[in-house]
Amino acid sequence: MSLVSKIKEIEDEMARTQKNKATSYHLGLLKAKLAKFKRELIMGPSKGGASGPGEGFDVTKTGDARVGLIGFPSVGKSTLLSKLTETASEVASYEFTTLTCIPGVINYKGSRIQLLDLPGIIEGAKDGKGRGRQVIAVGRTCNLILVVLDAMKPMVHKKIIESELEGFGIRLNRKKPNIYFKKKDKGGINFTHTVAPTHLDVDTVKAILGEYKIHNADVCLRCNATADDLIDVIEGNRVYIPALYVLNKIDAITIEELDLLDKIPHYVPISAHLEWNLDELLERIWQYLSLTRIYTKPKGQIPDYNAPIVIRGGDAATVEVFCNRIHKALAKQMKYALVWGSSVNPIYFYTNTHIKHAYIRWRFREMRCLLK
């Protein structure tokens, strides 16, 4: 029996099984087996026979962040790339116009954001249909995914794309579960929690670990995690990427239909052909990437507003991250940073200190910042 058949059989059994406390143990085992088979399907054979990424899919990562366009064929991805960047991507009325990965660059607020126009995917892409694995594999390297949807097509396409990305280990708009997991040589399974779990118990945890042939480990739940969350932590190859649902071709629907679609979370309505609402899309991309601009300030001069240094992380950005953007040796040589502004007194910060939009002047081992 092939891996695809085994996966289909487990998915059918999960669909037939009622979800309640009595079946949580059995469902946990099925989910663990399903995750193992999907991993084998994605990774392919361990020795030889594995196909390469294909022409045009190996794109060098440039700029301050990478954004990928993923969606079904003929939803307007190439048109959107042409409108947002200076890159010309072939546009036609037939499907599968784009057969390779076409990169472009968005210049916005002093940053350079790489935008990738990926070929359209179809249902079953995670299983290799339509070069789907190569498309989704590029999506794993992105800092933000734009799921492009056609406003005239059924919204079930959104669920299909989410399912395809989920099957390839991509978690959209989710944070990594706060679970401590560590294998050990002896001592059995030590299961603890700081939050009262409602989805997992000791038996279910042991059953899931047993499926991976893990019989000695420490597991601590620091959130109300599910069996899927625990499996993701054990697998260790999941990526958590923010996503925006770009609803294209809104010029072809009515206001009433648009009001109904407005209930979709994380969505931006646009018309790429007529260039409607592209400004809001760019602003949302900026927000979801959590980019921070930092302006260098020479001593005795005004800040240089022409070439900011852009770092990712938003509130999690640190002075150390900024130093590494200039040179990796700078953070080790620097002693402290001095931050001042109109609403704060001068404060000394070290390299692990958080910093928002700021002007920065540095000389020798000293760095001075002025909050914007």
Q: Is 16 exposed, middle or buried (0-12, 13-18, 19+ CB in 10 A)?
A: exposed
Give me the mean pLDDT over the 72-96 stretch: 78
Which residues, listed in sequence order, are joined to residue 337 by a DSSP beta bridge? 349, 367
What distance lies between CA 66 and its chain's CA centroid?
A: 10
Q: What is the pLDDT of residues 33-61, one digit of tens each?
A: 888 887 776 665 444 444 443 433 668 88
Contact 334, 349 (CB under 8 A): no
pLDDT in tens, 100-139: 788 999 999 989 999 999 888 877 666 666 567 788 888 9
Handedness of CA 222, 227, 231, 234 (dihedral sign): positive
Place of tokens 């401590």: 180
pTM of the model: 0.81
pLDDT at 106: 96
Average pLDDT over residues 296-302: 75
* pLDDT for position 371: 45
Give me the pLDDT at residue 277, please: 96
Of how many residues is the chain composed? 372
The amino acid occupying position 154 is P
Q: Which residue has the higher pLDDT, 205 or 88?
A: 205
pLDDT at position 56 is 37
- What would the two tokens of residue 281 be? 């899309």
